[in-house]
A and B are shown apart, each in its own frame.
Chain A
Amino acid sequence: MKFSIYRFNPDTDKEPYMQDYEIELTPDTRMLLDALIQIKEMDDTLSLRRSCREGVCGSDAMNINGKNGLACVTPLAELKQPVVLRPLPGLPVIRDLIVDMTQFFEHYNSIKPYLVNNDPPPATERLQSPEDRAKLDGLYECILCGACTTACPSFWWNPDKFVGPAGLMQAYRFIVDSRDQAQEERLENLEDPYRLYRCHNIMNCVDVCPKGLNPSKAINEIKALKVKRKLAHD
């Protein structure tokens, strides 16, 4: 099977280049990550992140034939040859397929991705009704791989200011959590014209999410909550 892989080592290369590889697939090589590990055995200078190899850790997000995805859950049988692999777009490349995700996680941190509840902790858990718990479905499953945010043109245009679909979906995950007491502050935290409102419903995030989530819907729910909040206060 043929591959064309983005290579860049800042210590030795002046600029990035594409390197071709051809490998004989073994019968148990089913996913793209398996093939990449096979290539890495052949050429150990190739750098990539990977860990759980089953779509849970989010480490091996990359641009696969022009579309962001996770190498470990992408079947080789579905890919056109040569398989063109590039690092996630819009983030600085550290080396080969490894990108610097500092900015991505700074945006994630900015939405306070933790429960804010000032009541004394109960003896057991903070309980929720099944209905309230159901509101978190489709949100908590995000693995923060960055595929959605780095596929978003609004993020490419304003990466320093726009929180991005992954961060905003997690913002909504806490806004809608019945146990959280900081909904007002969380909505105010997204009032700036760049942090939330750069989203123009392009929906690349929905297209690429390897977990099948819908960040665009979560973002629109936040906008709707802001309308309700405004009407309630005026």
Chain B
Amino acid sequence: MVKAGHGFSDWAWQRISAGLMLIYLIMLTVRVAIDGPQATGDGMLNFADWRAWCQPMWFKLSSLIFAWALIYHAWIGVKEITMDYLHHPVVRERVQRVCAILSWIYAVLILLIVWNT
């Protein structure tokens, strides 16, 4: 097996994550168009209507995959930017570490939000 250097893997994962996001956005558009949330109560869409619309397990799972793909895509992007512009290794490493921690926090938060919806 070829050693997976992070030059290739970052480049590949950035495209894979973009592909996943694109698939989700198409799916979301189609679902809104043909099976959008139904207004109950006063005829206006409210929080409860949207919440009910987000309940199916397949939708929760795909939303989670989308959010994680977005976070990973952004993380690779930030890493690329720091590699381009931050030439001091210590500064670059610290900025990357802060961004990595933030990415993990977002990933866990989004899991909690989606699961508790």
Residues of A within 8 A of B (CB): 154, 157-158, 188, 190-198, 200, 223, 226-227, 229-230, 233-234
B-chain residues with CB within 8 Å of residue A158 when the two chains form the complex? 83-84, 87
Q: Are A192 and B12 in contact (CB under 8 A)?
A: no
Is B50 engaged at the interface, CB distance under 8 Å to the other chain?
no
Chain B, interface residues (CB within 8 Å), range: 10 to 19
B92 vs chain A, min Cβ distance (A): 12
Q: Are A193 and B1 in contact (CB under 8 A)?
A: no
B-chain residues with CB within 8 Å of residue A194 when the two chains form the complex? 7, 83
The chain A residue with its CB closest to the CB of B4 is: A230
Complex CA–CA separation, A200 to B8 (angstroms): 13
CB pairs A–B below 8 angstroms (26 shown): A154-B84, A157-B84, A158-B83, A158-B84, A188-B2, A191-B5, A191-B7, A192-B5, A192-B7, A193-B5, A193-B83, A194-B7, A194-B83, A195-B7, A196-B7, A197-B7, A197-B8, A197-B10, A198-B83, A223-B11, A229-B2, A230-B2, A230-B8, A230-B12, A233-B2, A234-B1
Summed over the interface, the residue pairs from A and B with CB atoms below 8 Å come to a total of: 42
Q: Are B1 and A233 in contact (CB under 8 A)?
A: yes
Among the listed B5, B11, B85, which residue makes an inter-chain contact with A157, where contact means beta carbons less than 8 Å apart? B85
